[in-house]
Amino acid sequence: MKIVCIGGGPAGLYLALLMKKLDPAHDITVVERNRAYDTFGWGVVFSDTTMDNMRQWDAETADEIQAAFNHWDDIELLFKGRSIRSGGHGFVGIGRKKLLNILQLRCEALGVRLVFETDAQSDADYPDADLIIAADGVNSRIRKQHEAVFQPDIVTRPNRYIWLGTHRLYDAFTFDFQRTEHGWFQAHIYKFDDSTSTFIVETTEDTWKAHGLDRADQNQSIEFCERLFAGNLQGEPLISNARHLRGSAWLNFQRVVCEHWWLRNQHGSHVVLMGDAVHTAHFAIGSGTKLAIEDAIELTRQFTLLGDTPDRIPAVLAAYQEARRVETLRLQNAAWNAMEWFEVCGRRYCDQLEPEQFMYSMLTRSQRISHENLRLRDQRWLEGYERWFARRDGVAVPDGRTPPPPMFTPYTVRGLRLKNRVVVSPMAQYSAEDGLVGDYHLVHLGARALGGAGLVFAEMACVSAEGRITPGCPGLYRPEHTAAFKRIADWIHANTDACFGLQLGHAGPKASTRRAWEGTDLPLPEGNWPIMSASPQQYLEGVSQLAHEMTRQDMDRVRDQFLASTRAAVDIGADWLELHCAHGYLLSAFISPLTNHRADEYGGALAGRLRYPLEVFTAMRAIWPQDRPMSVRISATDWVDGGTTPEDAVEIARAFKAAGADLIDCSSGQVSKQEKPVFGRMYQTPLADRIRQEAGIATIAVGAISEADHVNSILAAGRADLCAVARPHLANPAWTLTEAAKIGYTDIAWPQPYFQGKRQMESLFQREHAAQEQALRHAAAKASL
């Protein structure tokens, strides 16, 4: 096979040597525009996993790279005059030039032809090649020439960064945050050889321009960074090896994702993208070189499996793309999360968080590192942080005593103290009769109150008969409804130490529908009642009833219904009250521009759309006891172009905070059937995080939170103050107690009659963990033989 690699970076060189090693008869050429043994850039970062993978495919190269590596375990944060260090993170760094020189020498030793100082213009320049590897970087000419086939999605990110070096040596991967009069700068610093460290300085576009760096040349930019980080550099200068770049050398990162990775050109040659040409990963997670190396390994693997002859190329390339796509997207998503964290940290975290919590937030920025993973990396540091977290909330942990995980610390708001941070979400049960809750609800809610959560919400109680979602939804508009809910509240208070919450709402345009198991959102087959909304609408176009636009008289009547239900909630003895302004129900329909098309003062801009929900909330807050908290559930994004955005959600939260709300319950969607949500574990938590930091109000995180590790990670990072767990509580009423046992936290009270169950569950999990650890030790011992 004749193979031409366009681009002599890690992807092209490593693929060339692996394929030459697979079959020395392959005719392989690497074409590079730079001079022999020359390159630009400073250090690159690998993971131990990538090194293990390389060793399997070419031990000689891996050993030489390993010998040149600088290895460190610690991450150090320099922030607000503090230095905080955490260990166990396992990075390895090497100079980019050193890495490429090792690969170049290995290629030459194997018989790969290296052609330098040749700027390949097109894949068409090599018409006799069977396979052309387009590893020509983020600005790939080959990708551009075949853009219609490769379909690249290229996003230029807003932050500015400059990639520098210094001869000051660091013994940890160091992050240094410095505040200026115009905003925050951060430096990403790591040693990569015996004399040099990478020193990347990053900031926002606005801060960059405010300091005049858009008008500075390279020397002026370097001098600015030297002054800013003078305390860190300790007299060592910053240096650049990118003098070939015009202007100031400040760059914007480009995220590249391609829909298709290969094609057959007009000469019959197969062309495949590799490395930065097909996908990029932000330096915040340090995985660009890792992706390039593993691309080369996977393509070689497919040739090994399917055959390395010209006729097998199409099958190999198809298998290669399929195999790499998922792993690449996983790493890119993690890199995207880390990148976004650095893009917004100056606005969202630097001023708001104390150094201890800022460190935790930074370590978990990619959402790939969880709370328990941090415990494996550095148990001493994490327990110290847990001790700090508990102490901040008034929990004194004696020396020698293990601190509680964040989810099991108390939370105090107004005059209420929750025993822990776990909330049972309001979950529709569709089991009421004429709005009346009964024995089913007592058992359902009572079981979950016994199950360890700090706060148990009943499902949305509707403020009128016509405000019910379905005929099976509870109401709070008749005296017997109050008595039935009071029976539940009294039982929970008498038999558990959980608090009881009520959520009030009106279904609006989504009312008069069937129970979920009969057809979610479908109108009743008979007996429908009239429905209303902010504007005329059908939730299911052509299917749902048409909701009429509320008049001022309608608005007064519904507001008074909310007030009557609030008074009933006081009589019930509810500890917590939440107003439902999400999911396309009545008040949500006022807030979203997708459903509010009014021409009066209750429509138009966001302030107008918020006017009626705020009227209702303000009136409720005035009669709800001042020592009891109130929260508001919102759809923090509609997941539809033209709908409510996360930016809007911050303003919505600020408005409710000004009206007296204590927390924002951050849900999303269900406003329009045109929505395109992006699901995943903890997928709505970034909404709670943003609102908490930017609006300055406590939040409840909801959505795909299914294990203690999720809850602890969210709370410890300051992304939310409480976590509402829904479906796991349907499957297991004692979810909170189960998760405590699973993570080995035994200092938690169970209901006294269940004491023997506590001991048994904790023992079962202890044995399970011991068996897993033994299996891991056995596997490690076997691998070392």
Region 405-425: mean pLDDT is 98
CA 80/CA 99 separation, integer angstroms: 36
Q: Identify the pLDDT of residue 772.
A: 84
Q: pLDDT, tens digit, for every residue of 440-483?
A: 999 999 999 999 999 999 999 999 999 999 999 999 999 999 99
Q: pLDDT, tens digit, for every residue of 278-313?
A: 999 888 766 788 889 999 999 999 999 999 999 999
Query: Higher pLDDT residue, 129 or 34?
Result: 129
Q: Identify the pLDDT of residue 781.
A: 56
Q: pLDDT, tens digit, for every residue of 349-397?
A: 999 999 999 999 999 998 788 999 999 999 999 999 999 999 998 898 8
pLDDT category of residue 784 using cuts at 50, 70 and 90: very low
Lowest mean pLDDT among 369-373, 594-598, 645-649: 369-373
Q: pLDDT, tens digit, for every residue of 148-194?
A: 999 999 999 999 999 999 999 999 999 999 999 999 999 999 998 88
CA 523/CA 538 separation, integer angstroms: 11
CA atoms within a 13 Å half-sphere pointing along the CA-CB vector of 306? 17
Residues 6+ apart with CB under 8 A from 191: 43, 70, 72, 93, 169, 170, 171, 197, 198
| Beta bridge partners of residue 198, listed in sequence order | 165, 190
Residue-averaged pLDDT of the chain: 94
Residues 6+ apart with CB under 8 A from 312: 303, 306
Query: Higher pLDDT residue, 486 or 47?
Result: 486
CA 3/CA 751 separation, integer angstroms: 70
Q: Identify the pLDDT of residue 716.
A: 98
Region 662-672: mean pLDDT is 98
| β strands within 259-414, DSSP E | 262-264, 270-273, 411-413
pLDDT at residue 426 is higher than 90: yes
The percentage of residues in the chain with a pLDDT greater than 90, rounded to a whole number, is: 85
Q: pLDDT, tens digit, for every residue of 320-339?
A: 999 998 888 887 887 888 89
Q: Identify the pLDDT of residue 400.
A: 81
Q: Identify the pLDDT of residue 331.
A: 79
Query: Higher pLDDT residue, 190 or 407?
Result: 407
pLDDT at residue 760 is higher than 70: yes
Contact indicator for 112, 29 with CB cutoff of 8 Å: yes
Number of residues in the chain: 785
Q: pLDDT, tens digit, for every residue of 203-249?
A: 999 999 999 999 999 999 999 999 999 999 999 999 987 755 556 68
Q: State the catalytic residues.
A: 585
CA angle 575/651/454 to nearest 5° reads 25
Residue 424: both structure tokens together: 């049972």
Q: Identify the pLDDT of residue 161.
A: 95
pLDDT at residue 785 is higher than 60: no
Contact indicator for 509, 532 with CB cutoff of 8 Å: yes
Q: Identify the pLDDT of residue 245.
A: 56
Q: pLDDT, tens digit, for every residue of 697-752?
A: 999 999 999 999 999 999 999 999 999 999 999 999 999 999 999 999 999 999 99
Query: Higher pLDDT residue, 436 or 678?
Result: 436
Region 568-596: mean pLDDT is 98
pLDDT category of residue 42 using cuts at 50, 70 and 90: confident
Q: Identify the pLDDT of residue 97.
A: 87
Q: Identify the pLDDT of residue 38.
A: 63
The amino acid occupying position 335 is: A
The 3-state DSSP composition of the chain as helix, strand, coil percent (nearest 5) reads 45, 20, 40
Q: 3-class secondary structure for 223-265? A: HHHHHHCHHHHCCCCEECCCCCCCCCCCECCEEEEECCCEEEC
Region 577-597: mean pLDDT is 98
CA 178/CA 199 separation, integer angstroms: 14
CA 330/CA 287 separation, integer angstroms: 11
Q: How far is CA 313 from CA 12, 269, 278, 299, 536, in A?
A: 17, 10, 18, 10, 58
Q: Identify the pLDDT of residue 253.
A: 92
Residues 6+ apart with CB under 8 A from 463: 475, 476, 477, 504, 505, 506, 558, 561, 562, 564, 565
